[in-house]
Amino acid sequence: MQGDREAGGRRRRQIGRAPAITRRSSSLKNRYSLGSMEGSAPPWGPYETPFEALGGEDRIRSIVDRFYDIIDSDAPTLRSLLPRDDSVSRDKLSAYLVEWSGGPALYTPERGHPKLRMRHLPFAIGADEVEVWLACFGEALDDNDVDGPVREFLDERITTLAHQMQNQP
């Protein structure tokens, strides 16, 4: 699926070429190029990338911090999966989302190919965990006033991505 970089064809990496993730960001832009779709905006609104529609890195960090704060206070089952000190978890999710949304490549150069499903396999993620994760994320978006087209875009893509992490009934 487009939201996850495990999608076929993106595994190939060649020395001297831009990292997969950067190519993907530009393909996001190309796919929804304003120039080629005169008069119509991409699904996230009149911005080059969802990253810009969201307002950049600080806003994404604020969403992620709120997300983990909500997990801390309201989602003990998810909290129990995370390390006691969740600061690195916060950094990783922020970096991932910045890059995924078309911003600077903060994740891949540091941590390699996201392979998100594989990285989630050590954790028991069932339908309940997916539902709670999405509820916490949605609340974090609400609390950061993320609305309009970019909100619809995120709701759709992040929901699909979250369901791909399910590895238990």
Residues contributing to the site for ligand HEM (CB under 6 A): 78, 81-82, 89, 92-93, 96, 111, 116, 119-120, 123, 125, 129-130, 133, 158, 161-162, 165
Which residue lies nearer to ligand HEM by CB, 17 or 111?
A: 111
Given a contact cutoff of 8 angstroms between Cβ atoms, the answer to whether 43 and 152 are in contact is yes
Which residue lies nearer to ligand HEM by CB, 42 or 129?
A: 129
Which residue lies nearer to ligand HEM by CB, 28 or 78?
A: 78
Name the minimum Å distance from CB 160 to ligand HEM. 9
Which residue lies nearer to ligand HEM by CB, 29 or 119?
A: 119
- What does the chain look like in DSSP terms, one character per residue? -TTSTTSTT-S---TTSPPHHHHHHHHHHHHT-TTTSTT---TT-SSSSHHHHHTSHHHHHHHHHHHHHHHHHH-HHHHTTS-SS-HHHHHHHHHHHHHHTTS---SHHHH----HHHHHTTS---HHHHHHHHHHHHHHHHHTT--HHHHHHHHHHHHHHHHHT----
Name the minimum Å distance from CB 75 to ligand HEM. 9
Name the minimum Å distance from CB 161 to ligand HEM. 4
Which residues lie below 8 Å from residue 17, measured CB to CB, with a gap of 6+? 23
Name the minimum Å distance from CB 87 to ligand HEM. 10
Name the minimum Å distance from CB 129 to ligand HEM. 4
Residue nearest to ligand HEM (CB): 89
Which residue lies nearer to ligand HEM by CB, 70 or 78?
A: 78
Look up residue 158 and give its amino acid: I
